[in-house]
């Protein structure tokens, strides 16, 4: 069964369902510091892709400080 699923691409809907059911994936809020626009993402990885930073750095900031503050964006964990 495992071998049949290896290499198979998942759809975006499937990825969202997996993230929603995961105990580790926490929703985050991304705020544009220039415009004040707020965007919500299902995980820090999706938010890091959006702002163009490496996901491990964003995850480390969220774990240690509960937020990331850059020049253009601020990311915080949704409570």
Whether 16 shows a pLDDT value over 90: the answer reads no
Domain count, the chain: 1
pLDDT score for 26: 82
Full domain range(s) for residue 16: 2-77
CATH number for 13: 1.10.10.10
> For 11-53, what is the HEC assignment?
CHHHHHHHHHHCCCCCCEEEEECCCCCEEEECCHHHHHHHHCC
Bigger pLDDT: 25 or 73?
73
Tens digit of each residue's pLDDT (9 = 90 or more) over 61-79: 999 999 999 999 999 998 7
pTM surpassing 0.85? no
Q: Are strands 67-69 and 38-41 parallel, antiparallel or unpaired?
A: unpaired
2 burial type by CB count under 10 A (0-12 exposed, 13-18 middle, 19+ buried)? exposed
**pLDDT per residue as tens digits for the range 42-66:** 888 889 999 999 999 999 999 999 9
Helix, strand, or coil (residue 63):
helix
Average pLDDT in the chain: 88
CA–CA separation, 34 and 62 (whole Å): 21
């Amino acid at each position: 069964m495992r071998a049949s699923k290896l290499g198979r691409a998942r759809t975006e809907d499937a990825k969202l369902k997996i993230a929603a059911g995961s105990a580790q994936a926490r929703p985050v809020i991304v705020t544009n510091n220039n415009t004040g626009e707020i965007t919500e993402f299902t995980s820090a990885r999706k938010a890091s892709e959006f702002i163009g930073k490496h996901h491990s750095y964003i995850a480390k900031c969220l774990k240690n400080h509960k937020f990331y503050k850059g020049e253009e964006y601020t990311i915080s964990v949704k409570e």
